[in-house]
Amino acid sequence: MINDIHPLADGVRLRPVALGDAASFAETLTRSRAYMRRWDPVRPEAFYTPEGQLQRLTALLADRDTGRVMPWALADDEDRVVGAMTLASIERGPFRNARLGYWIDVDRAGRGLATAAVTRVCELARDGLGLHRVEAGTVVDNTASQRVLAKCGFEHYGTAPRYLHINGSWQDHRMFQRILHDGPPQR
């Protein structure tokens, strides 16, 4: 289930990230760089290269193999990356929680793709990983992402001052959570 391919919308599917995605990630992130700048950390130029993405994906997949992270790519009909979803800081035991991060290619933004992907990732977090809760944070003025989270059943529960270093400075974030179920921890 977690490693399956999940159709979303407009010929886009959610699938596990692979090392072979490095060049496609580099291309899409470069194209979307100016658009995403106000919500992203300042990154070195090497981040936007296929080699930089290969290094990043290698580390990400190593973390996946430990169970701490689950990364997915959003891929179009030609298997080009058009976005990503990541559950990070996955915790088991009584907490059963993960942090959600995501982005969508500038050319696909505003079409409901993020909403479809976040909805599916939450289902996979519940049914495939047995998680109880997913949390997400957005820069205070990222109202588009806040609307996505609200549509997907997340509730705002507070503001974290100077939470992440984004676009060159420490930024306050609105914090959201979605409770996936109220049953006891499984597995």
Residue partners of 131: CB distance under 8 A and separation at least 6: 87, 90, 96, 97, 98, 125, 180
Cβ contact 151:143 at 8 Å: no
pLDDT computed for residue 187 by the predictor: 58
pLDDT computed for residue 185 by the predictor: 83
Q: Report pTM.
A: 0.95
One-letter amino acid for residue 147 of the chain: R
- How far apart CA 65 and CA 131 sit, in angstroms, is 17
Give, for 114, the enclosing helix (H) or strand (E).
helix 113-127
Q: What is the pLDDT along the chain (187 residues), one digit of tens a residue?
A: 888 889 998 899 999 999 999 999 999 999 999 999 999 999 999 999 999 999 999 999 999 999 999 999 999 999 999 999 999 999 999 999 999 999 999 999 999 999 999 999 999 999 999 999 999 999 999 999 999 999 999 999 999 999 999 999 999 999 999 999 998 887 5
3-state secondary structure 8-54: EECCEEEEECCHHHHHHHHHHHHHHHHHHHHHCCCCCHHHHCHHHHH
CB neighbours of residue 172 within 10 Å:
15
pLDDT computed for residue 10 by the predictor: 85
| 66 exposure class (CB count in 10 Å sphere: 0-12, 13-18, 19+) | exposed
Closest by CA to 118, choosing from 44, 29, 9, 4, is 9
pLDDT computed for residue 87 by the predictor: 98
With H, G, I as helix, E, B as strand and everything else as coil, classify residue 62.
Answer: helix
